[in-house]
Amino acid sequence: MDAWDAIRARRNVRTYSPTPISESDLDRILEAGWRAPSAKNDQHWDFVVVDDRGQLQELSTVWMGARHIASARATIALVIPQPADERSKLLDQYDLGQATMAMAIAATELGIGTGHSAVGDQDRARAILGVPDDHLVAYLLGLGYPADRPLKPIRNPNRRPFTEVVHRGRW
Ligand SMILES: Cc1cc2nc3c(=O)[nH]c(=O)nc-3n(C[C@H](O)[C@H](O)[C@H](O)COP(=O)(O)O)c2cc1C
C-alpha cells in the first residue's frame, strides 16, 4: 500500500484479530514516530511499547475510551514530560499528534490497525508502565490486525464536506 492509500485506509480499529505483529513491523511503526517532526526538534516524547496481555488489560482501565486496549496485540504509550508552561503544553500536543499520525500511517501501510485512546487516570497509567511522576502518559495507541475487515481506502469517510472545510485564498 502506498502513502496515499494508507492515508485513505486508516481508520480507528478497536477490535483486533489474534494474529501477532512481528517485531520488525512493530519497530517500523515505532521508527515512524521517532522520525516525526517536532517544534524546535525538541522530541519531547518517549514511547513505551507493551505487548504483555496482563499489562494491556490493566491499561484498558485508565480511561473509559481505552477498553479496546485490552484486546490489542500491542500498544504504544506516548509519554511526555509535565509541560513547563502553556506554550510547551500546546506544542507538545501538536507534536504528539504528528508522531501518532506517522505511526498510524506506517501501521496502516502494513495492514495493521491503530486505535487511539486518551488517558484519564495518570497515576494508574504511570504505575502500570513504570513512568516517573514528572511525566504524563498522554495517549495510548492500540495496535493489531483488524478483526472486522482488512484496511483499504475508504470511499466516503465520515467527515465534514470537503468544500466546507477547505477555503481557497480567503475564509
Ligand atoms: C486526540 C484524540 C483522542 C482520541 N481518544 C480516543 C479515545 O479515548 N478512545 C477511542 O476509542 N478513540 C479515541 N480517538 C479516536 C477518534 O474518536 C477517531 O479518530 C475519530 O472518531 C475519527 O474516526 P477515524 O479515526 O476512524 O477516522 C481519539 C482520537 C484523537 C485524535
CA distance 105 to 5: 9
**CA–CA distance, 85 with 82 (Å, rounded to integer):** 9
Q: Which residues line ligand 1 (CB under 6 A)?
A: 11-12, 14, 63, 65, 115-118
**Residues 95 and 44 sit within 8 Å (Cβ to Cβ):** yes
pLDDT by residue for the chain (171 residues), tens digit each? 899 999 999 999 999 999 999 999 999 999 999 999 999 999 999 999 999 999 999 999 999 999 999 999 999 999 999 999 999 999 999 999 999 999 999 999 999 999 999 999 999 999 999 999 999 999 999 999 999 999 999 999 999 999 999 999 999
For residue 128, the model assigns a pLDDT of 98
How far apart CA 96 and CA 45 sit, in angstroms, is 7
Q: Whose CA is nearest to atom 19 of ligand 1?
A: 12
> SS3 for 3?
helix
